[in-house]
Amino acid sequence: MRPSRIVLAAIAAGVVLVPFAVDGRFVWHIAILIGIKSLLALSLHLMLRIGQLSLAQAGFMGMGAYASALLTRDVGTPFLLGMSAGIAIPALAAWLIGSVILKVRGVNFALLTFVLGEAIVLVFVEFVFPFGGNNGIMRIPPAAILGFTLRSRESFYVLVLVTTAVALLVVRAMLSGQPGQVLRGLERNEPLVQSLGIEALAWRRFVFTVSAGIAGASGSLYAHYMGYISPEAFNVTATINALVMNVVGGVGAILGPLAGALLLVPLPELFRTALGWQQFLYGVSLLLLMVFLPQGLAGLARRLK
């Protein structure tokens, strides 16, 4: 292990343990939200690694949230099964629709997934049965594992941590070794990868499926943590926030989206006193960031080295 890695691991462990040290209701709340949002950011990160900006990720998150919430509340499915469905359903949807839309590259893909994300949210709004329309779904049962209900924020935080760690390991496995080489090849020189007998579309569809599954996990956790969900939580603005986390953290590093979430989730709380100005200040700080720090925190770290 290189020294820089040990430092990084120490920082990560420290950050993860902060809520246990401070132990305030609000700190737990923010910590859980950071975990949920970093899962969404991670799912977007995976797509960025093959050079395709997918703006439908929050839509997949919504699919996971609605699937998990409806199954546990109305069908009486146990939480873990509900969450598995919340991962599998968006993944399946991405696999099906991916065959068509992944043929489209670059900017067209971003525009198309933007419309796809909006279309998913419109389905939640339009079909009042079973999705509850604009009011959404209320009284979602809390997470429970093997009869043990995770009512306290501490226990839910641990669940979020474990899920994030698993997702991180999955993404890392995909980005390293031979799959990683294929994925990097897809981003840089697709014809060359294809000339080696590798079916590019199938690989990209695989990545899209996994990324939708991670977004679904984020949605399932969100639904069971909040206890209620409504369509506007999953519109394109949520995806854009996840994209911003990637940009702030740095698109080139796997920890980039996590660092971005850590920095950005508490940010609106800073502007809370100026509620009307929140959106404007957020937009302006993003613009300043893009102008002065286009490579994100990872770029800054690289420059300091």
Partner 1 sequence: MFQQFLVVAGLSSATYMLIALGFTLIFGIMRVVNFAHGEFLLIGAYAVFVAQHQFGLDYLVALPLAALVAGGIGVVAERALFRRFTGDETGGMIVGLALAIAIKGAVTILFGVDSQPIARPFSGSIEVAGAFIPRDQLFAAGVALVMVALIWWLLNHSRLGLAMRAVAQAPEVARLQGITPWKTYPVAFGIGCALAGLAGALVAPIYGAEPNMGEAALMKAFIIVVLGGLGSIPGALVASCLLATIDSGISILFNATIAALVSFAAVILVLLVRPAGLLGRS
**Partner residues linked to 29 by β-bridges:** none
Question: Nearest Cα to 65, choosing from 31, 42, 39, 29?
Answer: 39
Which of 276, 303, 304, 305 contacts partner 1 by CB under 8 A? 276
Residue 49's Cβ-side half-sphere holds a number of Cα atoms within 13 Å equal to 30
Residue 107 lies near partner 1 (rule: CB under 8 A): yes
Residue of 41, 140, 159, 244 that binds partner 1 (CB under 8 A): 244
Question: Is the peptide bond between 142 and the residue preceding it cis, with omega within 30 degrees of 0?
Answer: no
Nearer to partner 1, 103 or 302 (CB): 103
> What is the four-CA torsion angle of 149, 153, 155, 158, rounded to 10 degrees?
140
DSSP state of 135: G
Q: Which is nearer to partner 1, 87 or 112 (CB)?
A: 112
| Contact call for residues 161 and 35 (beta carbons, < 8 A) | yes
Candidates 26-34, 64-72, 104-112, 172-180: pick the segment binding partner 1 (CB under 8 A): 104-112
Query: What are the start-end ranges of the H helices in 52-176?
Result: 57-70, 79-101, 106-126, 128-131, 153-175
Does residue 154 touch partner 1 according to CB under 8 A?
Answer: no
Question: Taking CB under 8 A as the rule, does residue 96 contact partner 1?
Answer: no
Query: Nearest approach, Cβ of 99 to partner 1 (angstroms)?
Result: 9
Per CB under 8 A, 284 contacts partner 1: yes
Tell me which amino acid residue 89 is: I
Of the listed pieces 32-40, 81-89, 155-163, 288-296, which binds partner 1 according to CB under 8 A?
288-296
Regarding 115 and contact with partner 1 (CB under 8 A), the answer is yes
Contact indicator for 123, 89 with CB cutoff of 8 Å: no
243 binds partner 1 (CB under 8 A): yes
> Does 188 participate in binding partner 1 (rule CB under 8 A)?
no
String marking each residue 42-81 x if it binds partner 1 according to CB under 8 A? ------x----x----------------------------
